[in-house]
C-alpha cells in the first residue's frame, strides 16, 4: 500500500474506531478470540502474544459510492471500498475499526467497479477531492446522505457481540467510545501533530498530521492504540469518580477488584504502533498527561485495596 | 439483567411501579436503563418528570429505531434532565439512570426479522453499559411482548441474557383472572413462548407477579371504615387470595404487593425518600415495598421453578 503524500498515493486517510469491553465475564483465551474474529474463511486471524495478547481479524471490505462529508457544502463524490477490522486486546477489550484513504483526484467520470476494486480500502474521487473540507466534514460528523463509516465499525462490534461463546455478563458496566480520525501528510519541516478532542457522549476526534509515506493501516493502528488508552483512562476514572462517598464497603471492594482483575494490566501504549508514529502519542501524552493520570489512578486503586486489607486485619485483631 | 414488565390490561400500575424499581436500583448504585416499549401509551417520560421527553422522542424514539428510521434511539439522562426537584442532585453512590423514550409516530409495527435484529443489537449494546434494563411493554399479548418473547428465547440473540418477567395486576377479580390468563392462558406468555423455542418450565420460572395498588386493610387509611365494611373487605381479600391461588398466581408466585398509595393515585411519579421522610406525603410502606421488590429482582430464591 502506498503511503500518505507519496506521488499517486493518498492525501487523506479517515477512520473510526469503536472500543468496548468484550461482553463476557472473563477474558477470553486465544482460541476463543480467534473464533470470535474469524470473520472470513479465506484469511486467518492474526495473533500476537507480546508484549500483550492481541488478536486481529482479517480485513473486510465494504463497497461504497457516495457523497463525501463536507463542511463547505461542496458536493464531491467518491467510489471504492472501506476497510474494516476487529481486534481483541488481552482477551478483554474489543475494538472495531473502519477506515479508508483517498487520493487528491481521480477520473472525471465514474468508472466500472473493476477500476475501484484494485485498490482495496481506497475511495477514489470522481474529479478533484476538496481535501480540507472532506477532512473537516468527516470529523464534524456526516450529514444526511453523506458517507458515514461509523455503522461499518459498529456492525462488526454487533456481529461479534452476538457470538454464542460470549456469556453477556461483563464484570463491570462500561460505556463504549467512538474515535473518529483523519490523517494528512505533515507540512515540510514539521514531523507530526495531533489534535485530540472529547465530547461527553463518548465521541472523540483526532486530527493527525503524519510523516510522509505513512500507510493508512499504520495511521489506523495508531488511532486504535489511542482509542484503547483513552477508553481505559475514561472507564477507570469514571468508575473511581462514582465511588466517593455513599458506597458500602462490599460494593466498593467489588468495583476495585474488577478494575484490578480486568483493566489495570491493559495499559501499554505504543506496543503495536509503527515506530515512526511514536512521537504522535508522546506529544499527546506530554500535553494531556495521560500516563501520569493513569499511574495516579492505578496507585489510588492499589492504595485503597491495601488500606482496606489493613483495616479489616486490625478489626479482626481488636475483635479477638 | 433484562426485566420485562407486562400486564394484561392498562392501568395496572405497570409503568409507574417499574419506573420506581428502576429508580430504586440506581439509588443502590446499579447502572440502569429504562426502555419504554409501551408504544400505545409511552408514559415513562412523564413518570420520570421529563416534560419534553415525548416531544423530543418524536421520530427518534424506540419505535422509530426498531423500524429503522433512526440509527440510534434518543437517550435521556434522568438525573440531569428531570424536573423532579428531589432528583436533580444525583445522590452519592447512585448509578446511572437513563431513559430511552418511546415514540408513537409511524403506523403499523410488525415483529419482522429486521425489527428483532435491531432490538437484539440495541440490547447487546446497552447491556455493556447498564446492569439493569427495564422494559415497559404494552398491555396484553402486544407486539412489544411478542418481540421480546422471541428475542429472549434460548436460541435467539438475547437468550443468554438473564431475563425476568414481571406481570402486574390490580387486586380485583377481573385483574387476577386476566393476569393469570396472560401468563398461563392458551394465548399466554408460556404457551406462546414455548412455540417460540422457550423451555416452558424455565420460562414460567422466570415469571413473577406484582400486585399493585393493593388496599392494606390494617393500614390507617382504612381505620375509619365501619365494622361491616371491614368484614366485607376482609372476605373479598380472602376470596381474591383463593382465586389467585387457584389460577396459579398465589402468594408463592408473587414477588411483591405494592400498597395502595395516595400519592400515586393522584400523580404518576417516582416516590422519593424525601416524599416519605421530609414532606410526609407518601407512605413509608410504599417506599419499603418498592425497595424490597427492587431487591428481590436479584435474589434467586424468589425465582425459578418448583
Ligand atoms: N400503588 C399504587 N397506588 C395507587 N395508585 C397507583 C399505584 N400504582 C399505580 N397507580 C396509579 O394507577 C394508574 C395506572 O398506573 P400505570 O403505571 O400508568 O399503569 P399501566 O402502565 O399498567 O397502564 C396511574 O394513575 C398510577 O399513578
Ligand atoms: Mg403504562
Q: What is the total count of domains within chain A?
A: 2
Look at residue A6 and tell me if it is in a domain: no
Per-residue pLDDT of A19-39, as tens digits, reads 999 999 999 999 999 999 999
Contacts of residue A254, defined as CB under 8 A and 6 or more positions apart, other chains included, come to none
Instruction: With beta carbons less than 8 A apart as the criterion, state whether B270 and B34 touch.
Output: no
- List the alpha helices (DSSP H) in B101-197: 113-129, 143-151, 173-184, 189-195
Please tell me the distance from the alpha carbon of residue A196 to that of residue A37, in angstroms, as a whole number.
Answer: 29
CB–CB of A245 and B162 under 8 A?
A: no
Tell me the chain A residues in contact with residue B120 when contact means C-beta distances shorter than 8 Å. 162
Predicted confidence at residue B223, as pLDDT, reads 85
Among A36, A159, A239, which Cα is nearest to B93's? A239
The answer on A181 and A276 residing in a single domain is: no
pLDDT score of B35 more than 70? yes
Residue nearest atom 9 of ligand 1, based on CA coordinates: B13
Predicted confidence at residue A235, as pLDDT, reads 96
Taking the CA of residue A139 and the nearest CA in chain B, the distance in Å comes to: 18
The answer on A135 and A79 residing in a single domain is: yes
Instruction: Count Cβ–Cβ pairs < 8 Å, chain A vs chain B.
Output: 55
Tell me the chain A residues in contact with residue B125 when contact means C-beta distances shorter than 8 Å. 158, 161, 176
Domain ranges, residue A55: 12-227
CB of B106 within 8 Å of a chain A CB? The answer is no
Nearest CA in chain A to B154: A164
A80 dihedral zone (left: phi>0; alpha: psi -120 to 50; beta) = left
Q: DSSP letters along A55-89, please?
A: EEPPPEEEEEEEEPP-SS----EEEEEEEEEEEEE
Task: Measure CA B166 to chain center.
Answer: 6
CB–CB of A176 and B129 under 8 A?
A: yes
**Peptide bond preceding A51 in cis form (omega within 30 of 0):** yes
CB–CB of B29 and A247 under 8 A?
A: yes
Query: How, if at all, do strands B132-137 and B2-7 pair?
Result: parallel
Query: Could you give phi then psi for residue A233, rounded to 5 degrees?
Result: -65, -45
Tell me the chain A residues in contact with residue B126 when contact means C-beta distances shorter than 8 Å. none
The answer on A222 and A87 residing in a single domain is: yes
- The arithmetic mean of pLDDT across residues B172-195, rounded, is 97
Task: Measure CA A205 to chain center.
Answer: 11
Higher pLDDT, B260 or B86: B260
Look at residue A7 and tell me if it is in a domain: no
Q: Burial of B66 by CB count in 10 Å (0-12 exposed, 13-18 middle, 19+ buried)?
A: buried
- The arithmetic mean of pLDDT across residues B173-198, rounded, is 97
Q: How is residue A192 annotated by DSSP?
A: -
Taking the CA of residue A200 and the nearest CA in chain B, the distance in Å comes to: 12
Q: DSSP letters along A255-290, please?
A: HHHHHHHHTGGG--TTTTS-GGGHHHHHHHHHHH-H
Look at residue A189 and tell me if it is in a domain: yes
Predicted confidence at residue B280, as pLDDT, reads 94
CB of B155 within 8 Å of a chain A CB? The answer is no
B286 CA closest ligand 1 atom index = 1
| Angle, CA of B12, B302 and B127, to the nearest 5° | 75
The answer on A118 and A70 residing in a single domain is: yes
Please tell me the distance from the alpha carbon of residue B2 to that of residue B120, in angstroms, as a whole number.
Answer: 12
Predicted confidence at residue A267, as pLDDT, reads 97
- The arithmetic mean of pLDDT across residues B209-234, rounded, is 92
Q: How far is the CA of B281 from the centre of ligand 1 (A)?
A: 17
In the three-class reduction of DSSP (H, G, I as helix; E, B as strand; rest coil), residue A212 is classed as coil
The answer on A215 and A242 residing in a single domain is: no
Query: Could you give phi then psi for residue A134, rounded to 5 degrees?
Result: -65, -45
CB–CB of A174 and B160 under 8 A?
A: no
Predicted confidence at residue A190, as pLDDT, reads 73
Residue B227 has which C-alpha cell? Answer: 365494622
Taking the CA of residue B162 and the nearest CA in chain A, the distance in Å comes to: 9
To test the contact with chain A by mutation, choose from B26, B29, B32, B90 the residue with the greatest count of A C-beta atoms within 10 A, namely: B29
The answer on A129 and A146 residing in a single domain is: yes
To test the contact with chain A by mutation, choose from B27, B128, B131, B152 the residue with the greatest count of A C-beta atoms within 10 A, namely: B128
B168 CA closest ligand 1 atom index = 22
pLDDT below 70 — which residues of chain A?
1, 189, 242-248, 320
For the ranges B101-105, B197-201, B255-259, the lowest mean pLDDT is seen at: B101-105
Look at residue A299 and tell me if it is in a domain: yes
Please tell me the distance from the alpha carbon of residue B75 to that of residue A191, in angstroms, as a whole number.
Answer: 41
**Nearest Cβ partner for B160 among A167, A175, A176:** A167
Query: Could you give phi then psi for residue A18, rounded to 5 degrees?
Result: -105, 135
Q: Which residues surround ligand 2, an ion (CB under 5 A)?
A: B 15, 38, 43
**Mean predicted lDDT score pLDDT of chain B:** 93
Predicted confidence at residue B85, as pLDDT, reads 87
Please tell me the distance from the alpha carbon of residue B170 to that of residue B177, in angstroms, as a whole number.
Answer: 10
Contacts of residue A270, defined as CB under 8 A and 6 or more positions apart, other chains included, come to A225, A278, A281
Q: How confident is the model at residue B27 (pLDDT cuts 50, 70, 90)?
A: very high
To test the contact with chain A by mutation, choose from B1, B91, B160 the residue with the greatest count of A C-beta atoms within 10 A, namely: B160
Q: Which of A227, A245, A265 is the last residue of a domain?
A: A227
Q: How confident is the model at residue B6 (pLDDT cuts 50, 70, 90)?
A: very high
Please tell me the distance from the alpha carbon of residue B114 to that of residue B92, in angstroms, as a whole number.
Answer: 41
Please tell me the distance from the alpha carbon of residue B50 to that of residue B166, in angstroms, as a whole number.
Answer: 25
Superfamily of domain B2-302: P-loop containing nucleotide triphosphate hydrolases (3.40.50.300)
Instruction: With beta carbons less than 8 A apart as the criterion, state whether B83 and B49 touch.
Output: yes
The answer on A128 and A50 residing in a single domain is: yes
Higher pLDDT, B68 or B303: B303
Look at residue A1 and tell me if it is in a domain: no
Please tell me the distance from the alpha carbon of residue B262 to that of residue B281, in angstroms, as a whole number.
Answer: 8
Query: How, if at all, do strands A177-185 and A203-210 pair?
Result: parallel
Please tell me the distance from the alpha carbon of residue B25 to that of residue B15, in angstroms, as a whole number.
Answer: 15
Look at residue A3 and tell me if it is in a domain: no
In the three-class reduction of DSSP (H, G, I as helix; E, B as strand; rest coil), residue A134 is classed as helix
B12 CA closest ligand 1 atom index = 22
Q: Which of A176, A203, A227 is the last residue of a domain?
A: A227
CB–CB of A23 and B130 under 8 A?
A: no
* Sign of the dihedral through C-alpha A244, A250, A253, A254: negative
Pocket of ligand 1 (CB under 6 A): B 7, 10-17, 43, 168, 212-213, 258, 260-261, 264-265, 268
Among A257, A238, A241, which Cα is nearest to A249's? A257
**Which of B:120-149 have CB within 8 Å of A?**
120-121, 124-125, 127-131
The answer on A183 and A261 residing in a single domain is: no
ipTM of model: 0.89
Per-residue pLDDT of B139-178, as tens digits, reads 999 989 999 999 999 999 999 999 999 999 999 999 999 9
CA separation (Å) from A275 to A70, A117, A219, A278? Answer: 32, 30, 11, 5
Q: How is residue B221 annotated by DSSP?
A: G
CB of B162 within 8 Å of a chain A CB? The answer is yes
CB–CB of B124 and A168 under 8 A?
A: yes
Please tell me the distance from the alpha carbon of residue B63 to that of residue B292, in angstroms, as a whole number.
Answer: 32
Residue A52 has which C-alpha cell? Answer: 500483550
A127 dihedral zone (left: phi>0; alpha: psi -120 to 50; beta) = left
Please tell me the distance from the alpha carbon of residue B205 to that of residue B305, in angstroms, as a whole number.
Answer: 4
The answer on A240 and A210 residing in a single domain is: no
Tell me the chain A residues in contact with residue B124 when contact means C-beta distances shorter than 8 Å. 23, 158, 161-162, 168
Rg value, chain B, Cα: 19
Taking the CA of residue B1 and the nearest CA in chain A, the distance in Å comes to: 9
The residue to which cell 483523519 is assigned: A182
Contacts of residue A138, defined as CB under 8 A and 6 or more positions apart, other chains included, come to A14, A68, A69, A180, A182
Q: How far is the CA of B238 from the centre of ligand 2 (A)?
A: 28
The answer on A215 and A192 residing in a single domain is: yes
CB–CB of A23 and B128 under 8 A?
A: yes
Please tell me the distance from the alpha carbon of residue B194 to that of residue B143, in angstroms, as a whole number.
Answer: 17
For the ranges A144-148, B26-30, B220-224, B258-262, the lowest mean pLDDT is seen at: B220-224
Tell me the chain B residues in contact with residue A161 when contact means C-beta distances shorter than 8 Å. 121, 124-125
Instruction: Looking at the CA of B17, name the nearest ligand.
Output: 1
Query: What percentage of chain B reaches a pLDDT higher than 70?
Result: 97
CB of B93 within 8 Å of a chain A CB? The answer is yes
The answer on A52 and A88 residing in a single domain is: yes
Please tell me the distance from the alpha carbon of residue A78 to that of residue A219, in angstroms, as a whole number.
Answer: 21
Q: How far is the CA of B94 from the centre of ligand 2 (A)?
A: 25
pLDDT score of B108 more than 60? no
Q: Burial of A181 by CB count in 10 Å (0-12 exposed, 13-18 middle, 19+ buried)?
A: buried
The answer on A147 and A26 residing in a single domain is: yes
Q: Which of A227, A251, A275 is the last residue of a domain?
A: A227
Residues in chain B: 306
Amino acid at each position: 500500500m502506498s503511503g500518505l503524500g507519496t506521488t499517486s498515493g493518498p492525501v487523506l486517510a479517515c477512520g473510526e474506531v469503536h472500543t468496548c469491553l468484550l461482553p463476557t465475564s472473563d477474558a477470553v483465551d486465544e482460541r476463543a478470540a480467534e473464533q470470535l474474529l474469524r470473520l472470513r474463511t479465506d484469511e486467518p486471524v492474526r495473533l500476537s502474544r507480546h508484549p500483550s495478547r492481541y488478536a486481529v481479524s482479517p480485513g473486510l471490505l465494504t463497497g461504497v459510492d457516495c457523497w463525501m462529508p463536507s463542511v463547505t457544502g461542496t458536493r464531491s463524490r467518491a467510489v471504492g471500498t472501506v476497510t474494516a477490522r476487529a481486534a481483541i486486546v488481552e482477551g478483554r477489550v474489543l475494538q472495531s475499526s473502519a477506515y479508508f484513504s483517498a487520493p487528491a483526484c481521480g477520473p472525471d467520470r465514474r468508472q466500472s467497479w473493476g477500476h475501484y476494486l484494485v485498490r482495496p480500502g481506497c475511495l477514489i474521487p470522481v474529479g478533484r477531492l476538496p481535501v480540507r473540507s472532506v477532512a473537516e466534514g468527516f470529523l464534524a460528523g456526516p450529514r444526511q446522505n453523506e458517507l458515514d463509516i461509523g455503522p461499518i465499525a459498529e456492525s462488526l462490534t454487533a456481529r461479534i457481540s452476538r457470538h454464542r461463546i460470549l456469556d453477556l455478563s461483563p464484570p463491570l458496566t462500561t460505556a463504549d467510545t467512538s474515535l473518529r480520525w483523519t490523517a494528512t501528510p505533515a507540512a515540510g519541516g514539521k514531523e507530526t501533530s495531533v489534535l485530540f478532542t472529547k465530547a461527553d457522549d463518548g465521541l472523540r476526534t483526532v486530527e493527525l498530521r503524519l510523516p510522509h509515506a505513512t500507510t493508512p493501516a499504520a495511521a489506523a493502528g495508531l488511532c486504535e492504540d489511542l482509542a484503547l488508552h483513552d477508553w481505559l483512562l475514561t472507564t477507570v476514572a469514571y468508575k473511581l469518580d462514582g465511588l466517593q462517598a455513599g458506597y458500602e464497603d462490599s460494593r466498593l471492594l467489588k468495583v476495585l477488584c474488577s478494575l484490578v482483575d480486568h483493566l489495570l494490566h491493559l495499559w501499554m501504549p505504543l506496543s503495536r504502533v509503527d515506530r515512526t508514529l511514536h512521537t504522535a502519542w508522546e506529544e499527546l501524552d506530554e500535553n494531556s498527561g495521560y500516563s501520569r493520570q493513569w499511574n495516579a489512578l492505578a496507585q489510588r486503586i492499589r492504595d485503597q485495596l491495601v488500606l482496606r486489607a489493613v483495616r479489616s486485619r486490625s478489626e479482626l485483631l481488636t475483635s479477638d | 439483567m433484562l426485566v420485562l414488565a407486562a400486564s394484561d390490561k392498562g392501568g395496572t400500575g405497570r409503568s409507574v411501579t417499574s419506573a420506581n424499581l428502576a429508580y430504586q436500583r440506581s439509588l443502590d448504585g446499579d447502572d440502569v436503563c429504562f426502555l419504554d416499549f409501551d408504544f400505545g401509551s409511552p408514559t415513562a417520560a412523564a413518570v420520570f418528570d421529563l416534560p419534553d421527553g415525548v416531544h423530543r422522542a418524536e421520530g427518534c424514539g424506540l419505535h422509530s429505531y426498531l423500524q429503522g428510521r433512526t440509527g440510534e434511539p434518543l437517550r435521556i439522562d434522568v438525573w440531569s434532565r428531570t424536573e423532579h426537584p428531589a432528583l436533580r442532585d444525583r445522590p452519592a453512590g447512585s448509578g446511572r439512570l437513563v431513559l430511552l423514550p418511546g415514540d408513537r409516530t409511524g403506523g403499523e409495527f410488525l415483529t419482522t426479522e429486521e425489527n428483532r435484529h435491531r432490538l437484539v443489537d440495541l440490547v447487546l449494546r446497552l447491556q455493556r453499559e447498564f446492569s439493569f434494563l427495564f422494559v415497559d411493554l404494552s398491555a396484553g399479548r402486544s407486539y412489544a411482548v411478542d418481540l421480546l418473547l422471541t428475542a429472549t428465547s434460548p436460541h435467539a440473540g438475547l437468550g443468554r441474557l438473564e431475563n425476568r418477567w414481571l406481570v402486574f395486576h390490580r387486586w380485583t377479580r377481573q385483574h387476577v383472572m386476566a393476569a393469570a390468563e396472560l401468563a398461563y392462558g392458551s394465548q399466554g406468555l408460556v404457551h406462546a413462548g414455548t412455540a417460540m423455542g422457550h423451555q416452558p418450565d424455565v420460562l414460567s420460572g422466570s415469571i413473577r407477579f406484582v400486585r399493585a395498588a393493593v388496599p392494606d386493610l390494617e393500614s390507617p387509611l382504612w381505620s375509619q371504615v365501619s365494622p361491616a365494611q371491614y368484614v366485607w373487605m376482609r372476605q373479598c381479600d380472602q376470596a381474591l387470595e383463593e382465586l389467585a391461588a387457584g389460577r396459579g398466581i398465589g402468594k408463592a408466585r408473587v414477588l411483591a404487593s405494592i400498597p395502595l398509595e395516595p400519592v400515586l393515585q393522584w400523580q404518576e411519579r417516582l416516590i422519593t425518600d424525601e416524599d416519605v421522610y421530609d414532606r410526609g406525603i407518601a407512605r413509608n410502606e410504599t417506599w419499603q415495598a418498592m425497595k424490597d421488590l427492587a431487591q428481590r429482582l436479584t435474589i434467586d430464591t424468589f425465582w425459578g421453578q418448583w
